[in-house]
Chain A
Amino acid sequence: MPTIITARDLTKNYGDLVAVKGISFAIEEGECFGFLGPNGAGKTTTVKMIHCVSPMTSGTLLVDGMPASIDNRKVKALCGVIPQEINLDIDLTVRENLMVFARFFDIPRAEARTRIAELLKFVELEAKRDCKIDQLSTGMKRRLLVARALLNKPRFIIADEPTTGLDPQARHLIWQRLRQLKAQGSTLILTTQYMEEAQQLCDRIVVMFEGKILKEGLPSRLIEEEIGREVVEIRAPASEDERLIAELGSLSCGHERVGDTLFFYCRDGHGIILKLAELDLPNTVHRPATLEDVFLKLTGRSLIE
């Protein structure tokens, strides 16, 4: 797969605040690339530089071979943006919103009309085409943002936390649509703080924290490398740590104390479970490892080996 976006030592300062600290990454055509990180990690700043609405401080950033400098109209024409904040035009109807946007992309009127009809169908908003924006639910608004981002048949789509504040149904509908787009060959760039979302959608992720990329890889691979396959959580006071680690430490590949919980990470949890039964501890959870564990481990505390 050819590379569509390459960043080298990309840095962004807002005054004294360094939001992005010299990160490098490459995004391939047709993949779903995720930026995973907590609030303030620099994800949104990074994608804003990609779609040319925020000037970089230093480094290089190439989109389809062109420098992604501020106001590069050619780059902006290639890109569809599903923004984090719902910034629909509340003075206009659903259809007018799309019509006006089509003009901004210089899409001829007749073509815009057919495209809008298709897209409203795609996001299941045909019935709402003449509604004002404040008559839509949050889920509908988010879907309209998806339709708006697709008007210009973008080479790549930036989805900046596209499901924030949605209920499970609405969230799954957005995910389905994004997967459908990927299946049709679109390149997707996703930022999210939801691990499930990253696991559901992304081929590759980078974990960002405090403006830096901590890890890069396939979600499943990251979990295996960083955590193992399974996690055993024991809710017990910290005073018990020494005893429990002495008993269970050899059966796991790592452990961590977070608040009221002692985590054991392991490839195979059976040994620990058997031991736990022996110890007769009441408050334990045994579950598969998730991206969330990777995330907490990378961004929160480091393993005590």
Chain B
Amino acid sequence: MNLSYRIYHVFVRNLISYKRFVLTTFLVSLIEPLFYLITFGIGMGAYMGLFGGKPYLNFLVPGVLVSSVMMSSSFECMYGTFVKMVHERLYDSLIATPVSAEDAIAGDIAWGAFRGLISGTLMMLVAMIMGVLPASPYRVALVLALLILVGGLFASLGMIVTSYAPNFDFFNYYSELVITPMLFFSGVFFPLDRFPEWMKGFAQVLPLTHAVKISRAVFSGEFQPGLWLSILYVFALGTVAFMVAVRRMKKRLVK
């Protein structure tokens, strides 16, 4: 794999172009998760009673946080990358310079993860204003690290989808058949314990389940014994997805 420090140059290119969309994307990244927090957290939470001794909102925030990262990072590396690749032919010009195809793709995955981090951070600020805080200040740094990890994972997965995508419509399959179900099967909105066994098993395959578990642990400060398995799973899947994404995309870019 022909990677170099030029990943950073590609990242900076995205950052420069981003300054023109920054406000609109801030709004978009905020509105959807905010809608979840208000409707589910406050609206539904009023009927839910306490979850582990705390209001429902405290249960909800860690999950919604990682799922907003999932959304932003996935979509950035799907729609964003597809436009750059097919409509703007940006990669063609990039790889004619000392930037390799691998640098360009890794730079875009890093960018996708960064977009996720921004969404997640904005969400966290809103949650903090609503009174939901990680157990201690240093945990905020842990949350941010987790957001980057989750962002990298879903950016890579989105990139794999893009490597197969003949057109925009293709992304609907992934977002409707994978992303949306994941949102409901990963314990974001309710605990998984009352699922039938087969559903629990299915949930364990979903990367978001593990991301939610880790996020909840970081917020509450209660680290269950099985947690390191979740961390390992997210790491391992992220690494594999990154390698596959770079390889697949290179095949698409270099002919």
Chain A positions 78-123 with a Cβ under 8 Å from a chain B Cβ: 79, 81, 83, 85, 87-92, 96, 99-101, 103-106
Q: Which of A29-37, A50-58, A235-243, A249-257 contacts B (4 or more CB under 8 A)?
A: A50-58
Q: Which of B89, B94, B97 has the most CB of A within 10 A?
A: B97
Instruction: Say whether A73 contacts B12, CB under 8 Å.
Output: no
Contact of A54 among B16, B90, B255 (CB under 8 A): B255
Q: Which of A55, A87, A96, A99 has the most CB of B within 10 A?
A: A87
Q: What residues of chain A lie closer than 8 Å to B254, measured between beta carbons?
A: 53-55, 70
Name which residue of chain A comes closest to B10, CB basis.
Answer: A104
Known: A51-B96, A71-B101. A104 touches B9 (CB 8 A): yes
Contact of B100 among A71, A92, A100 (CB under 8 A): A71
Interface on B for A, CB 8 Å cutoff? 2, 4, 6, 9, 12-13, 16-17, 20, 88-90, 92-102, 254-255
Query: Chain A, 147-170, contact with B by CB distance < 8 Å: what is the 0/1 string?
Result: 010001000000000000000000
Bound CA–CA A101/B12 (angstroms): 11
Bound CA–CA A70/B93 (angstroms): 15
| Min distance, Cβ B138 to any Cβ of chain A, angstroms | 35
Bound CA–CA A73/B9 (angstroms): 15
Q: What residues of chain B lie closer than 8 Å to A21, measured between beta carbons?
A: none
Instruction: Say whether B92 contacts A85, CB under 8 Å.
Output: yes
Name which residue of chain A comes closest to B253, CB basis.
Answer: A53
Q: What residues of chain A lie closer than 8 Å to B98, measured between beta carbons?
A: 73, 76-77, 104-106
Contact of A104 among B6, B101, B102 (CB under 8 A): B6
Q: What residues of chain B lie closer than 8 Å to A92, measured between beta carbons?
A: 13, 16-17
Contact of A100 among B2, B12, B96 (CB under 8 A): B12
Known: A54-B255, A55-B254, A104-B99. A87 touches B9 (CB 8 A): no
Bound CA–CA A51/B12 (angstroms): 24
Q: Apart from A55-B254, A83-B92, list 10 A-B contacts with CB within 8 A.
A: A53-B92, A53-B254, A70-B254, A81-B96, A89-B13, A89-B17, A92-B17, A96-B16, A100-B13, A104-B6
Instruction: Say whether B13 contacts A53, CB under 8 Å.
Output: no
Q: What residues of chain A lie closer than 8 Å to B102, measured between beta carbons?
A: 71
